[in-house]
Structure 1
Amino acid sequence: MDIATLVDRAARRFGDRIAVEGPDAAGSWQQLSFAALGERVARLAVGLRRLGLEPGDRVLDLQTNSTTYLETDLAIRAAGLVRVALNHRLHPDDWARIAADCRATTLIHDVRFSGDVVGLAADMEHVLVVGVTGDDAARAGGPSSCLETLLDTPAPAAPFSSEADALCGLHYSSGTTGHPKGAQRTHRNWLAGTINMTHDVLGGPPSETDVYCHAGPITHTSGLFVLPFLVAGARQLIMPKWDPERFADAVTRHGVTHTAVVPTMVSRLLALADDTLGPLRDRMKMLGYAGAPMPTEVIRAAHERITANLVQYYGLVEAIPPVTVLDAADHARGLAGEPDLLASAGRTALGVELRVVDSAGQSLPEGEVGEVITRGDHVMRGYWNGSGRTDLGKAVVDGWLHTGDLGRMDNAGRLWLVDRVGDMIITGGYNVYPREVEDVVAEVPGVSQVAVLGVTDPDWGQRVVALYTGEPDVGEDAVISHCRARLASYKRPKQAIRVEAFPLNSTQKIAKKVLRERLERGEEVASWTG
């Protein structure tokens, strides 16, 4: 099974039913049936191949959310090509490094990035501009042409065919621990992710009346829901960017039933008034979240004010999510009197194997902390071009992906993620897992976000420092006092510093590497604004 077959199957099965709606790349509202989406994807796929591209060629795709972006996402892979999504939040130098690493020959980009990709486009054989007319593209000079011209290509009698293990995507890490590395994803990987997502996160195939809202970037967690809703014949709504008020309005206006976000987006949604959030409580069948821990009080507020159907899932660039899932029932149990459950990443998804091992690769008993490893069709084929060869040598052993995440398991098969191997703090010879300290600091009333890290110390090797955002009257003494009552002495922060805002990386996670560098340089941190 491949992507082209899935798109063609949905087009034939669901016909005139609405598949996707939202603004196209030019900003005009567009509504496409499954039949129309299937035909446009097929025409774009043929058009790309007629440019001279061959199966396995890499195509850079740089766009923000639009119906056109969803079309190109599917068309590149349906053509047997390899889609390399460029995160628009990265620096152009990062785009150039990715392009050089994967040796891309083709760039598709949103017209709004025309000024940013001049250097990148100069090295491409083909540059396709999205959201402009052919005349506009011609005026851009160089090899540029209008993506819409590819739609003049006649639709093929049958879709292209790719082997299940053929490469169809390169997904680069956010680069917070060095230059990004490209994880190779195959058609088989995506099918496995679709099955796992449908079975464990959605709890079964969506119905004809369900609507998924792409409230976050399709390049990230939201893109995991494209295929599950496509193959089920359910509708997808695309928002060009995250806006909590517009999302709340979309729930009522468009009948949104499902979405997935990162925790910072949940916090911004909760800032809305109760009368604005009221319709969500009645309509939302699922609010998924991933990418970072969510404090218990935020979970409780979301459960009470947004929806009781909260689902958390865990995965990696190298292993298509979900690897594990904490479902709505576990959320309800956690809030009803088993709070430890809310810190769990849940149980393994349908097609996933998972173990916790020591440094020698031996399985550890329940409750002991070790590295999380996973095996299954959701795991990448490997890193592109041997990129990050040392990491690769440590990452895949006998078919098992070593994630670099530290965790423990209970007797019910639930996983608790403790921290990243590289984030662990060693102070006075003791190991401190930042996640544990962050959870305690987050309990302090008025604290919003927390980042705990180790900073070089002449006496202890490293000292524990807690940075947090929150109400102005939450002082260092309150945080330190709370930690003194809840943590062993060696785990307690030596400093607790309130900041105005955290710097975020390209996936909207707190950029701990930046924080650590600033602290090591001795910067005054209280005035940081991100």
Structure 2
Amino acid sequence: MNISQLLLNSAQARPNHPVIVFKEQRISYQELATKVKQKAVGFRQYGIQNNYHVGLMMGNKPEYIVTYFALLSVGAIVVPINPTFKENEITHILNDSEAVALIVDEIGLTEVQKAEKGFSSVNMIFSLQDAAPYVSWHDVSGDAEDYFIEQKNKDDYAQIIYTSGTTGKPKGALITHGNLEWMTQTSVNMLELSSEDRVLVVLPLFHAYAKLQGLLNSVITGSTIYLEERFIPNIILDRIAKEEITIFLGVPTMYTMFVNLPQINELDFSQLRVAGCGGASLPVEILEKVNKAMGVDIGEGYGQTESTVMISCFPPNSERVHGSVGYPLPGIELKVIDPNGKEVPAGEVGEIIFKGPNAMKGYYKKKQETRETIKDGWIYTGDLGKQDERGLLYIVDRKKDMIIRGGYNVYPREVEEVLYGHPDVVECAVVGESDPTFGEEIAAYVVVKQEKTPDDIITYCKEKLAHYKVPRKIYFMEELPKTTTGKILKTPLKNR
């Protein structure tokens, strides 16, 4: 089934029920379905065909949702891109994915204009903001009567979601229509979602977590999405209470900011029944503060892009065990193994591997990385964890050298490559430092040729990296610690 059929089904079942509330707009399921049909016909008229790869680079707005379902309807494979990405980041993803078209809004337009000269496969750009010679998004429209949905099998690709690998270079995970359908249906059943739910989505829709748990889960059940452009803690907290939100999806940073707001103890959150948390582990003290102030247990889970978002979680009415990320989802096989591939006893630490209908099919155009990650049908997560006698999963550490800042994954190697591009940087090493607000903050240890200030380095990085990848702490050193063979040692830096 083409995953966009979910929207058509709900539009037929509850045409007048609101699907999107955004600022002053209230859009019904029937209205959204009509917009999607018109846009899909328009895209076909502009030459977007079945299996074309199309970059989608927008912030949270109804136009994103219309475009997403329209592209899926015509059979295109969607390549989501963070709209705050810089020129080199945009170019890499579009070229690596062999995208033939790009849809961009006003947030990323300037960087796209700078990056365009480096595009190797993109031959058409649609802009939400008028920007000749790009095609105006608003001109892409046809007669809804001419609409038809491209039929898809469960193994046909729906998305290429880019996630950084151990080298720091983003890799495109191939996610199928079957992956999305199974994960959506499974998580809806686990969370007991219904058409009466009101789901607040402030996490960016280009994120796999927000797209599935916020968008697809809502659409399949016919519930209402309260869509927000950006996270302003006091405004979002007020909105949860005022709109009687029943489902909120966040990352640890958001909850940390919530519990530090005085109004959290004055608002009524009695309608909130599911508070999801992804991206990183949440400190126990924050969990307890949220539970006390908002009257809801945060539902921590575990997953990755390669798992179509989720591997394990706590069902809403189950007993929470702090420090655990719950039970593997029904239908997923999970093991914890030693370096020899042997399953370890309960309580012992090893690498987490899994298999199931949520598993990606591989990395686009990266056979070697695919072979290293998928072995005999099992996906090797690169994460270290353990299971107790009840089957509860605990994440112990990241095997991959990754920093999680405010729910965003940042790979040191990518930041280091940018730093090495600075004419005065001789050596550098990037590590994560514990931070009470963001979980981890990015710290760069730098050896320079001539005197520089931290602001010099930060300003340079801001021109090359998305905001969440920019190191906020710069330490200048005479030399970096190294092994006898000259390899930089990061452990002493992390322990400083």
Q: Pick the TM interval, shorter chain.
A: 0.7 to 0.9
Query: What residue identity is the alignment partner of 2:155?
Result: D
Q: Against the structure 1 CA distance between its residues 223 and 511, is the aligned structure 2 distance closer, same or farther, given a 3 Å change threshold?
A: farther
- TM-score normalized with structure 1 length: 0.74
Query: What residue identity is the alignment partner of 1:42?
Result: K
8 Å Cα contact 1:4-1:79 kept in structure 2: no
- Given the alignment, which residue of 356, 360, 367 partners 2:336? 356
Q: Matches of 1:308 and 1:373 in 2, distance apart?
A: 31
Greater CA deviation, 151-160 or 36-45? 151-160
Q: Matches of 2:63 and 2:165 in 1, distance apart?
A: 27
Q: Deviations over 1:329-357 (max 9, x none)?
A: 55x65xxxxxxx31111101123111111
Q: Against the structure 1 CA distance between its residues 423 and 107, is the aligned structure 2 distance closer, same or farther, given a 3 Å change threshold?
A: closer
Q: Matches of 1:509 and 1:222 in 2, distance apart?
A: 20
Map 1:312-323 to 2 at 5 A: 312-323=300-311
- TM-score normalized with structure 2 length: 0.79
| Residues 1:299 and 2:287 are matched in the alignment | yes
Query: What residue identity is the alignment partner of 1:258?
Result: I
Aligned residues: 428
- Given the alignment, which residue of 246, 258, 274 partners 2:247? 258
Greater CA deviation, 118-127 or 287-296? 118-127
8 Å Cα contact 2:338-2:351 kept in structure 1: yes
Map 1:249-288 to 2 at 5 A: 249-273=238-262, 275-288=263-276
Q: Deviations over 1:19-75 (max 9, x none)?
A: 11204xxxxx32211011111112212221221122111111111111111211222
Q: Deviations over 1:108-132 (max 9, x none)?
A: 00023222111434543211111x3
- Given the alignment, which residue of 38, 48, 57 partners 1:53? 48
Deviation at 1:164, TM superposition (A): 1.9
Q: Deviations over 1:300-329 (max 9, x none)?
A: 101111232321111111111221003455
Q: Against the structure 1 CA distance between its residues 118 and 324, is the aligned structure 2 distance closer, same or farther, given a 3 Å change threshold?
A: same
Matching residue of 1:404: 382
Query: What residue identity is the alignment partner of 1:5?
Result: Q
8 Å Cα contact 1:183-1:381 kept in structure 2: yes
Q: Matches of 1:510 and 1:278 in 2, distance apart?
A: 36
Query: What residue identity is the alignment partner of 2:127?
Result: V
User: Secondary structure, in 3 states, of the residue corresponding to 1:283?
Assistant: coil
Query: What residue identity is the alignment partner of 1:72?
Result: T
| Residues 1:372 and 2:361 are matched in the alignment | no
Deviation at 1:418, TM superposition (A): 1.1
Query: What residue identity is the alignment partner of 1:216?
Result: L
- Given the alignment, which residue of 325, 344, 347 partners 1:345? 325
Q: Against the structure 1 CA distance between its residues 255 and 155, is the aligned structure 2 distance closer, same or farther, given a 3 Å change threshold?
A: farther
- Aligned-CA RMSD value: 3.1
Query: What residue identity is the alignment partner of 2:6?
Result: L
Q: Against the structure 1 CA distance between its residues 277 and 45, is the aligned structure 2 distance closer, same or farther, given a 3 Å change threshold?
A: farther
Q: Deviations over 1:243-296 (max 9, x none)?
A: 1111122223323111111101111111211x4454353121111001111111
Q: Matches of 1:155 and 1:167 in 2, distance apart?
A: 26
Matching residue of 2:123: 125
User: Secondary structure, in 3 states, of the residue corresponding to 1:408?
Assistant: strand
User: Secondary structure, in 3 states, of the residue corresponding to 1:127?
Assistant: strand
| Residues 1:245 and 2:234 are matched in the alignment | yes
8 Å Cα contact 1:287-1:307 kept in structure 2: no
Matching residue of 2:3: 3
Q: Against the structure 1 CA distance between its residues 322 and 378, is the aligned structure 2 distance closer, same or farther, given a 3 Å change threshold?
A: same
Matching residue of 2:92: 97
Q: Against the structure 1 CA distance between its residues 126 and 519, is the aligned structure 2 distance closer, same or farther, given a 3 Å change threshold?
A: farther
Map 1:173-212 to 2 at 5 A: 173-174=163-164, 177-200=167-190, 202=191, 204-208=192-196, 210-212=197-199
| Residues 1:164 and 2:151 are matched in the alignment | no
Matching residue of 2:394: 416
Q: Matches of 2:362 and 2:58 in 1, distance apart?
A: 26
Q: Deviations over 1:143-177 (max 9, x none)?
A: x1111222344343543322221111010014674
Q: Against the structure 1 CA distance between its residues 358 and 469, is the aligned structure 2 distance closer, same or farther, given a 3 Å change threshold?
A: closer
Q: Matches of 2:189 and 2:466 in 1, distance apart?
A: 29
Query: What residue identity is the alignment partner of 1:342?
Result: H
Unaligned runs of 5+ in 2: 405-409, 413-430, 438-457, 482-496
8 Å Cα contact 1:57-1:105 kept in structure 2: yes
| Residues 1:395 and 2:373 are matched in the alignment | yes
Deviation at 1:87, TM superposition (A): 1.1
Q: Matches of 1:116 and 1:322 in 2, distance apart?
A: 32
Q: Matches of 1:18 and 1:46 in 2, distance apart?
A: 24
Deviation at 1:390, TM superposition (A): 3.7
Q: Matches of 1:518 and 1:191 in 2, distance apart?
A: 51
Matching residue of 1:482: none
Q: Against the structure 1 CA distance between its residues 176 and 39, is the aligned structure 2 distance closer, same or farther, given a 3 Å change threshold?
A: farther
- Given the alignment, which residue of 100, 103, 110 partners 2:105? 110
Query: What residue identity is the alignment partner of 2:314?
Result: L
Map 1:451-530 to 2 at 5 A: 467-469=433-435, 521=480
Matching residue of 2:132: 141
8 Å Cα contact 1:311-1:328 kept in structure 2: yes
| Residues 1:384 and 2:372 are matched in the alignment | no
Map 1:10-89 to 2 at 5 A: 10-23=10-23, 29-89=24-84
Q: Against the structure 1 CA distance between its residues 141 and 157, is the aligned structure 2 distance closer, same or farther, given a 3 Å change threshold?
A: closer
Matching residue of 1:214: 201
8 Å Cα contact 1:291-1:509 kept in structure 2: no
Matching residue of 2:491: none
Q: Against the structure 1 CA distance between its residues 466 and 70, is the aligned structure 2 distance closer, same or farther, given a 3 Å change threshold?
A: closer
